[in-house]
A and B are shown apart, each in its own frame.
Chain A
């Protein structure tokens, strides 16, 4: 069968049934590969096929899909990619969330393109995979351990170190079904969106330990692949936008976003940096050099992005942590009023270790801090805890209460939407969330209407389009007025598909910020196809339409596409002061629907849209025979 496979694929899916304790592999037919590519695209198709409406996020028959793509394990930068696709706990709808590290490469080297987990174990298990060996093993000795400890213990017990084995799992938060819990692995990489960790916890699957297998991955055109990989690397190093990512990852984010009013400060109560804050400390070189650090690259990656660092001062001096991404600096810091990089860096890793999404954590703790300051939440309600702005030690105590569902932590563990609804009164007006229940990413979207619209109309539990990447490459404007509702909606709709395509490749979202045409050359060289950027966008839009159809089947539609009062409020100060999104909201959504070819009233992709995407099989389900 292998000779018929396009290059880059393993051609097998590992199936795991936790109820019966069985594992087996099944072939993945080549005709589906070109349509869905892998990763998010493959996951979306499986989710649609196998998770009916009555199977909620916590139902044993929900699927947890851990998928990679055709570039994973090949010598292209950042190709250890993992896409987690499931029906998630936050929205009770579609989920697509990514992490990097080595998981995707190890999976391919073991001979699989994806692992599909179903069922529910009667006791805690972990999945061990080494080439053709796939076993469910007792995980009692891992219960209660955080995500880093889990990897430490499994590596020691199984006799592997470094990149010989990739481990992704859940921490105490996932075990306790914290609704915004994450799946984390390889020390600092986190698939965190839409409560995928709670799905894994409900299945009582503590971790997946993947030994770096021994199977070769064939590229159809090895010389072409190396050439494309070189072009991608060159582009990332020299392109004026991506060059900063190459050098410093997302460390430049705080300064850049502050300048345009999109840095979320103190739960959206201000957009002005506190007086006396040394913003020079927030320049990327200063942030990096402020810590003893070393590179922590993902599979085959030459970016100077991921780093480990050592806490230099304070009560946690000497601890090794993962250098925060921008969203870590925001969620573990600015959103809760902390501007001390050392304190934030430490807290950020604690969040990863207990295993929750840092964005939701920021909105939740920022909300609690504001509510306590205003008297909407009492000290008694918080178990005697005072949570003042910027107090990362108090935030860490809250984190432990949440992760273990202790006291008020049991309410907070439901996420800020549900917690604020439970508390009620004026506290309910201070919470940042979407109508579907998804967490906004770690920016103040009141200054980035594109991302607010994207987050709210998305069917993946997080934004699905993301900021434009090389927009002129496919005829979109280089820049738009960020407060022009029509331009915003056309831009978000016009870019739909690119990120889903990236998330289907088995590569990192940062190394795929090369030109789309170059990424397609890499995919073509790997597989032997002639894959164009137009086909890439169609594949991405096909994936988006599948997630949309899935969400509609779950009862999640346009009636939930609104920002919470605080999320959609008017900035009181800063560069976006006075910019009100609400008066333009309905018009913006209208234009987005028209642009993506979905029906505004029902939310369904129109039949002509589905036909153009090769998704005719969805028409009877969505529109009737």
Chain B
């Protein structure tokens, strides 16, 4: 596991965990194995969108894979879970996040054979 350095912006209410799993670590500088965990500072008005935007700003490959061409909506490639629930159940992209929430990025479901 790789934990990024924790940064402390003065306005942060706390930290949201962003967990990047297995294959998706390829998009944040990893080798497609294990996990990379980022502790993202969350401002009082932080949302799932803003937290994912922060991580994407640091990792252009993730930005390209995670967002659509306009950079506004999620594309089809990466599954997003918030506190183990697929996005759309307990949280939308614009739902506020709270201290201790965990956002997980996992490879999109492609079926099997």
Residue ranges of A at the interface with B (Cβ–Cβ < 8 Å): 239-245, 247-248, 250, 252-253, 255-257, 259-260, 262, 280, 283-286, 325-327, 330, 441-443, 448, 451, 466-472, 478-484, 509-510, 513, 575
Nearest CB in chain A: distance from B83 CB, A: 10
The answer, among A259, A471, A472, for a CB contact under 8 Å with B104, is A259
Q: Which of B62-86 contact A (CB under 8 A)?
A: 64-65, 68, 73-79, 81, 84-86
Kindly list chain A residues whose C-beta atoms are within 8 Å of the C-beta of B74. Answer: 478-479
Kindly list chain B residues whose C-beta atoms are within 8 Å of the C-beta of A259. Answer: 21, 79, 81, 84, 104, 106
Contact A241 B110, CB 8 Å, known A478-B73, A481-B86: yes
Contact A250 B88 (CB under 8 A): no
The reply to whether the CB of B108 lies closer than 8 angstroms to some CB of chain A is: yes
Nearest CB in chain A: distance from B108 CB, A: 5
Query: What 1/0 flags go to B76-113 for Cβ under 8 Å of A?
Result: 11110100111111000000000000001011111111
Contact A280 B34 (CB under 8 A): yes
Nearest CB in chain B: distance from A232 CB, A: 16
Question: Can you offer 13 A-B residue contacts whose CB atoms are under 8 A?
Answer: A240-B65, A240-B75, A241-B108, A241-B110, A244-B32, A247-B32, A250-B110, A252-B107, A256-B22, A259-B21, A472-B75, A478-B74, A479-B79
Provide the bound-state CA to CA distance between A161 and B74, in Å.
49
The answer, among B31, B76, B107, for a CB contact under 8 Å with A244, is B107
Additional pairs, 4, CB under 8 Å, beyond known A245-B110, A283-B33: A244-B23, A252-B107, A325-B112, A479-B79
Contact A286 B113, CB 8 Å, known A252-B22, A256-B79: no
Provide the bound-state CA to CA distance between A467 and B109, in Å.
7
Chain B binding surface, main DSSP class: loop
The answer, among B87, B106, B113, for a CB contact under 8 Å with A325, is B113
Provide the bound-state CA to CA distance between A575 and B82, in Å.
11
Interface residues of B toward A: which range? 35 or more
Kindly list chain B residues whose C-beta atoms are within 8 Å of the C-beta of A469. Answer: 110
Contact A283 B32 (CB under 8 A): yes
Contact A257 B22 (CB under 8 A): no
**Nearest A residue (CB) for B77:** A240
Kindly list chain B residues whose C-beta atoms are within 8 Å of the C-beta of A483. Answer: 89
How many A-B residue pairs lie within 8 Å, measured between CB atoms? Answer: 121
Kindly list chain A residues whose C-beta atoms are within 8 Å of the C-beta of B68. Answer: 472, 478
Provide the bound-state CA to CA distance between A509 and B110, in Å.
11
Contact B33 A286 (CB under 8 A): yes
Query: What 1/0 flags go to B21-62 for Cβ under 8 Å of A?
Result: 111001100011110000000000000000000000000000
**Nearest A residue (CB) for B107:** A256
Contact A255 B34 (CB under 8 A): no
The answer, among A243, A260, A280, A480, for a CB contact under 8 Å with B106, is A260
Provide the bound-state CA to CA distance between A468 and B111, in Å.
9
Contact B33 A253 (CB under 8 A): no
The answer, among B23, B31, B112, for a CB contact under 8 Å with A326, is B112
Contact A575 B81, CB 8 Å, known A327-B112, A479-B87: yes
Kindly list chain B residues whose C-beta atoms are within 8 Å of the C-beta of A255. Answer: 21-23, 106-107
Nearest CB in chain A: distance from B33 CB, A: 5
Kindly list chain A residues whose C-beta atoms are within 8 Å of the C-beta of B86. Answer: 260, 481-482, 575
Nearest CB in chain A: distance from B34 CB, A: 7
Nearest CB in chain A: distance from B87 CB, A: 7
Kindly list chain B residues whose C-beta atoms are within 8 Å of the C-beta of A280. Answer: 33-34
Nearest CB in chain B: distance from A1 CB, A: 37
